[in-house]
Structure 1
Amino acid sequence: MLTDNDVLLPKAAKPPYETRLLTLAATSWLIVATAGQWLFGVYILLFYGQSTLAGDFERWNKVLPHGYVAGDWKGNLAVGMHVLLAAILVMGGPLQLLPQLRQRVPRFHRWLGRAYIVTALVVSTLGLFMTWTRGTVGDATQHVSISIQALYIIAFALLAIHYARTRQFAPHRVWALRLFMVVSGVWFFRVGLMFWLLVNGGPVGFDPHTFTGPFLTALSIFTYAIPLSLLVLELYLYAQRRQLKLFSLFVAGVIFLCTLIMGIGIVGATLGMWLPNL
């Protein structure tokens, strides 16, 4: 008679090379994005926290034109809430993407997810208010593009909530990933801008004083209105589903390239924008 010890269990099949490479590319992207977003979140808390505690609200205008307007307490409160909640988004968003956290601490994942979605809705609404009432820098194309991004955030957040409440976790995960990409739009914009400044050795294709020009127009469109981050995500999801060798290799290469660009932009933003303002 055979016992359990006599039965040779088959080893799990090793995923094909292209699947492992695609996973490695996505993991590398997530590690670099997490580090960059947490650096940005720490910067937000330190810069705005220090200036607020010191009562030096006009220091906000050093990095956020028209961020503080004397006598406009409602607008100033909206800006302060927007900034504080943005820090929560960039600190908490990457945590939601960690499968280990989702599996080992599901209750924390659910509560953080609720907080993330509510915060995203509030931040996008406040962002719309600030864009069209505070006279922010940039041209009309930039304002319209970032307003479209706010609509994406609202729509994707509501869809993520719907699928979570109906316990359809596969589409919930997809819409949560899409939400993360559009919520990160402002961060992608900063990182993309700093990458451009580093590789060109200075402002090329735009006027740094008026913050307008063809490069910034294109960057705002492809960061906010037609987000390239969403396009790359959809390519990744499609590659996961179809498991086509050449396509998976292509998508892995695109993600590695995006990770490299993002990493250079994070270094540039940290050294050229975040650290000098602390």
Structure 2
Amino acid sequence: MTRFIQAQHARILNMAVTSWFVTAVIGQWIFGVYVLLFYGTATLKGHPSDWNKVLPNGYVTGDIMGNVVVGSHLLLAITIIFGGPLQLIPKVRNRMPVFHKWNGRCYILSAFVTSLSGFYMVWVRGSVGGIVQHVSISINAILIIVFAVLAMKYARARNIKKHRIWAIRLFLVMNGVWFFRVGLNFWLFMNQGIVGFNPKTFEGPFLNILSFSQYLLPLLLFELYTIAKKSPNKRFVQVVAVIVMVFIIVMAIGIFSASKSVWLPRITEVLFTNSITWTNM
């Protein structure tokens, strides 16, 4: 009887988590298209200085080393955004094991490179925000490296159960920057303006909280899910399911706001500009 109840609870939680995953992937791939088109087009046209329209100190004239680091960070970010979700889809994993294996290796490699390049961009090249945000980003990078090592360790040991757990944790912390953007746009949408931070210095109490929440909240949500999945306590399972649904609503609003105000307009702008360029050619 207990197993039956647990199975029922697991089904409810799986439905909520699946809804969360689908919502997240849609938002991430919209963001991925934006990153690919904006930064890719600027690079291919020979105007990497356009990176600075979005990424402060993204391109610095004469700093070859720094520009290569930032460029590799952006390139691998695209790989992470599109390749990461595919690692967690059961049908892809089961039907295309070879792809899963090599995509996973690319994902792990990307985790190490983006983390190290992230350190460089924050502490050497310089980034917006204050010391609190820089420390938070550094902690995020450390977690990415640790989780990547553990996911790889259990994959090699053929301990699939633990490998999947650490792979999910890795996926969550790897998307910290995306969660930050979604959380920020949710906040701006709900307040209909800038509240809790200085837009010029990009510092303030809200951003300090968000900088840690961007990876700690998703990890907490996952830990609650794993506990609830095994719990016979119906009330606890229901509470966790509600928390997941609230998280979905917040995320959906943030995705909508970011897409409407930033991602889709810039995607449209790049495509429109490209069409004119090709016509003139």
TM-score over 0.5 for the pair: yes
- Contact kept, 8 Å, 2:59 with 2:67, in 1: the verdict is yes
TM-score, L = length of structure 2? 0.91
1:124 and 2:126 correspond = no
Listed as ranges, the matches of 1:197-276 within 5 Å are 197-224=188-215, 227-276=216-265
* Alignment counterpart, residue 94 of structure 1, candidates 78, 85, 89: 85
* Alignment counterpart, residue 104 of structure 1, candidates 69, 89, 95: 95
Structure 1 residues without counterparts, runs of 5 or longer: 1-12
Structure (1 or 2) with the larger CA radius of gyration = 1
| TM superposition shift of 1:60 | 0.4
- Contact kept, 8 Å, 1:36 with 1:266, in 2: the verdict is yes
Letter in 2 for 1:238: I
Out of 33-42 and 140-149, give the one that drifted further. 33-42
- Contact kept, 8 Å, 2:80 with 2:110, in 1: the verdict is yes
- Tell me the C-alpha RMSD between the 2 structures: 1.4
* Alignment counterpart, residue 136 of structure 2, candidates 117, 141, 145: 145
| TM superposition shift of 1:20 | 2.5
Alpha-carbon distance in structure 2 between the residues aligned to 1:72 and 1:258: 41
Percent of aligned pairs with the same amino acid: 53
Structure 2 residues without counterparts, runs of 5 or longer: 268-281
Alpha-carbon distance in structure 2 between the residues aligned to 1:212 and 1:262: 22
* Local SS of the residue matching 1:206: coil
1:113 and 2:104 correspond = yes
Alpha-carbon distance in structure 2 between the residues aligned to 1:202 and 1:42: 26
Alpha-carbon distance in structure 1 between the residues aligned to 2:82 and 2:193: 29
Cα distance change, pair 37–53 in 1 and its aligned pair in 2 (3 A): same
| TM superposition shift of 1:50 | 0.7
Letter in 2 for 1:78: V
Alpha-carbon distance in structure 2 between the residues aligned to 1:108 and 1:54: 32
Alpha-carbon distance in structure 2 between the residues aligned to 1:167 and 1:216: 40
Structure (1 or 2) with the greater helix fraction: 2
Q: Which residue of 2 aligns with 1:189?
A: 180
* Alignment counterpart, residue 159 of structure 1, candidates 128, 145, 150: 150
- Cα offsets for 1:77-114 (capped at 9, x unmatched): 11011001001101111111111111111121111111
| TM superposition shift of 1:127 | 0.5
* Local SS of the residue matching 2:62: coil
